[in-house]
Amino acid sequence: MTDITQAEYELIRRYLANGLTEEEELMVTTRIIRDPQFRQEVEVTEALRYGFRELERSGKLASLLQSRAGRRPRVPMALAAAVIVAVSGGVISYFVSYRRNVPPPEVEIETLRFETTRGDARADVTWKASGRPVQLELVFDVGSSPAGSYRVILRSSDGTQDTTALDQVVETAPNGEVVVLLDGTPVKPGYYDVTLEPLPAADRGAIVNYTLQIQDGPGE
């Protein structure tokens, strides 16, 4: 038994789509016969593909591909916990919790995703305040080998704020992401450095840094 590589996953996908050359097909079928782990990966992929086709056929796929805007925000039960910090102008008072409050239905949730794919812009993510009550679901990509939990620190990086907006330990979600739900009162516009320190403390290289820009809402 051997670990399946990314190239092999791709080979499996093409095998199931009947997109292999003769030579590749013999290689894959040989592996299916010889290696139970590889065979199981083929079976999982096959079942997944079939499931997608069934979803499409039953008409359930389209709704899953629609934006969450306007839908009741889904905070998975496993994640129904996070940090709550408030956002809207004035003094920052953040309340953070992981694994608990589902927000009241009238509060809108906006998801901000921080991913390792970096652009040239100063901020990784820019969010415009709308003036409405809102909770921000911050979803952090912490790489493919995440630690069990992270200390998440959010602090102003442009000198206009003198407080650390957030400093909280957050458990890594089962899907390998770190999710923080911010709720509360005003976060002033400006740039914020977001630092995620793996726990237990690892080498400094494992620390993940992002930049968040908050822009003024009214008049946007």
Partner 1 sequence: MAEMDAAARSLNCPAELQGLRDGVLHVLRHVLRDKTMADDLCNETFRVVLERLRQQPLEEPEKLAPFLAQTARLLARNAQRAEVRRRTFTGQQQAIDEFGDPEADPSAVSQAQARTDAVQKILAELPTVRDREILVRVYLRDEDKDQVCRDLGIDDAHFRRVVFRARERFKALLDKRYRAADLYCFAVSL
For partner 1, the binding residues (CB under 8 A) are 6, 9-10, 13, 15-17, 19, 25-26, 29-34, 36, 39-40, 42-56, 58, 60-61, 64-68, 74, 76, 111, 113, 115-117, 139, 141, 144, 175-177, 179
Residue 184 contacts residue 93 (beta carbons within 8 Å): yes
Tell me the backbone φ, ψ of residue 49, rounded to 5 degrees: -60, -45
Which of 205, 156, 157, 199 lies closest to 178 in space, CA to CA?
199
Closest approach, Cβ 99 to partner 1, in A, equals 16
Count other Cβ atoms within 10 Å, centred on residue 189: 17
Closest approach, Cβ 89 to partner 1, in A, equals 28
Which is nearer to partner 1, 35 or 193 (by Cβ)? 35
Which is nearer to partner 1, 29 or 130 (by Cβ)? 29
Phi-psi label, residue 166: left if phi above 0, alpha if psi -120 to 50, beta otherwise: beta
Closest approach, Cβ 84 to partner 1, in A, equals 18
d(CA 88, CA 131): 7
Closest approach, Cβ 133 to partner 1, in A, equals 22
